[in-house]
């Protein structure tokens, strides 16, 4: 059975929309985290960025487009730069035999790959997670 996620990524437009939203959401969550860690309000961030509090609100709730310039300006207030990494949209499917060949062991324990997601059948945010198996 095809999931809503499968239908979404079946077209180039759907894949692009998903990738945009996933990226923008990740950046917004990062900014919220930095605000919380620094004990800074949206108004204080706006003042340090030289924009209105309304503009910061729009950026954080998704009503405004996050450009690279805006992301850089925002992160500079926190003394941070964005570190970029990518994950495959669709995780690589490997047979158990392939995983046994490429995944190492520690002592008597084999390290197993795992993924999880909050979306039905969506790939995990980081599809290269490992855990010790018994």
Split into its structural domains, the chain has a count of 2
Q: Do 8 and 70 share a domain, yes or no?
A: yes
Residue 18 lies in a domain: yes
Q: What is the pLDDT of residue 130?
A: 41
Q: How far apart (Å, rounded) are the C-alpha atoms in residues 93 and 84? A: 24
Q: Do 20 and 70 share a domain, yes or no?
A: yes
| pTM higher than the cut 0.75 | no
Q: What is the pLDDT of residue 108?
A: 53
Domain membership of residue 124 as a residue range: 96-132
Q: What is the pLDDT of residue 62?
A: 92
Q: Do 102 and 65 share a domain, yes or no?
A: no
Pairing, β 129-132 against β 105-106: unpaired
Q: How far apart (Å, rounded) are the C-alpha atoms in residues 9 and 18? A: 7
């Amino acid at each position: 059975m095809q999931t809503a996620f499968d239908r979404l990524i079946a077209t180039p437009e759907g894949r692009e929309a998903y990738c945009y939203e996933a990226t923008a959401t990740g950046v917004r969550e990062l900014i919220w985290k930095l605000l919380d860690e620094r004990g800074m309000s949206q108004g204080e961030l706006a003042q340090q960025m030289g924009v209105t509090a309304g503009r910061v609100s729009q950026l954080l709730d998704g009503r405004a487009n996050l450009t690279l310039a805006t992301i850089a300006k925002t992160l500079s207030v926190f003394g941070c730069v964005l570190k970029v990494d990518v994950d495959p949209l669709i995780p690589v499917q490997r047979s158990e035999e392939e995983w046994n060949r490429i995944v190492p062991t520690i002592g008597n324990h084999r390290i197993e790959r795992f993924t999880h997601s909050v979306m039905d059948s969506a790939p995990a945010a980081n599809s290269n997670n490992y855990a010790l198996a018994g």
